Amino acid sequence: MILHHYNISPYSEKIRLMLGYAGIDWQSSIVPPMPPRPTLDPFLGGYRRIPVAQIGADVVCDTRLIAAEIATISGKPELSFYTASKEMVNFATNTNDNMFMPVVQGAVPSHVLRRLITQYWPWQIIRLLKDRAQVGKHSKLPRMRKSERKNTADNFKQQLENLLSQNDFLFGHTPSIADFSAYHLVWFAKITRPNEFLTDLPNTQRWRQRMSALGHGKSTKIRKNQLFNITKEAAPKELSAQQLAGKNVGKSVSIRPTDYAEDSTLGKLVGADEERWVIAKESNEFGVVHVHFPKHGYKLELI
């Protein structure tokens, strides 16, 4: 599996750690923290969120679907939103949908800057901050006041602390999609507000260390020409009979996230089932590439 990601991206950390836990060797393609992304845009186009996973000529968008691929490859159903227990899935969905923004917006600017300065040039940082201000301005997520944000974060932390009083991980003795969906937020909070980090929450502190110790597994860097050759030479994985018979298959569509950074990807719908849409993008350079989107959190329109 190739992972397109960047260092300070919390959703990327979720997948890096999951790959480490699942024991899957992976190839790492570092992308800029904002478009343009020259190693990804030429065959993906449109969708701008990170991380994105790639297996040959199949490009998998959103951690919901990437986690499902990891669960299948590693034989660990508890890592997928589609096969984990109901309580794990409810917790992970609520965390994904409602906790990311309060955590990101609660970041202390000086700590964010301190981290960015170690990785990017000043002009890149200015562009990034401007970009994120634009993303925030057009976001459909409800805006929270500071006090509301703090209450939401405090309740979430207390929920973690209570669940972790019974077990090493949120819903048992091994990590599940629930743990990975919460951990990347705690990881980001530790970087961006270290002074007020998990004070008086001993169970959560120990869990954070346990999760962090899972590591990122074995990865090797992949260069642009290698990446492009793989994309060109591979053919997309065969779709199932159910996917081929899915609603609107054969039509030209656009697919976009419904919350923020809503850039659309256009193509021909070639597969659809209860979980995902698959669109084909065709170019002289790369031939046919299949791009997979989850249905949850995305909107399809006929064009």
Ligand X SMILES: N[C@@H](CCC(=O)N[C@@H](CS)C(=O)NCC(=O)O)C(=O)O
Residue closer to ligand X by CB (options 9, 231) is 9
Residue closer to ligand X by CB (options 96, 204) is 96
Question: By three-state DSSP, how is residue 152 classified?
Answer: helix
Quote the least distance from Cβ 168 to ligand X, whole Å: 25
Residue closer to ligand X by CB (options 63, 204) is 63
Quote the least distance from Cβ 71 to ligand X, whole Å: 15
Sign, CA dihedral 64-68-71-74, equals negative
The answer to whether the CB of 43 falls within 8 A of the CB of 236 is no
> ∠ CA 123-129-135 to the nearest 5 degrees?
135
Quote the least distance from Cβ 296 to ligand X, whole Å: 9
Quote the least distance from Cβ 180 to ligand X, whole Å: 11
Residue closer to ligand X by CB (options 64, 76) is 64
Residue closer to ligand X by CB (options 67, 164) is 67
- Name the CA dihedral angle for 236, 240, 241, 243, rounded to a multiple of 10 degrees: -80
Strand ranges (DSSP E) for the chain?
2-5, 26-30, 52-55, 58-61, 219-221, 252-257, 265-272, 276-283, 287-294, 298-302
- Pairing type for strands 52-55 and 58-61 reads antiparallel
Residue closer to ligand X by CB (options 68, 160) is 68
Question: By three-state DSSP, how is residue 257 classified?
Answer: strand
Quote the least distance from Cβ 245 to ligand X, whole Å: 27
Task: Give the residues lining the site for ligand X (CB under 6 A).
Answer: 9-11, 33-34, 48-50, 62-64, 261, 297
Question: HSE of 53 in the Cβ direction (CA atoms, 13 Å)?
Answer: 24
Quote the least distance from Cβ 70 to ligand X, whole Å: 13
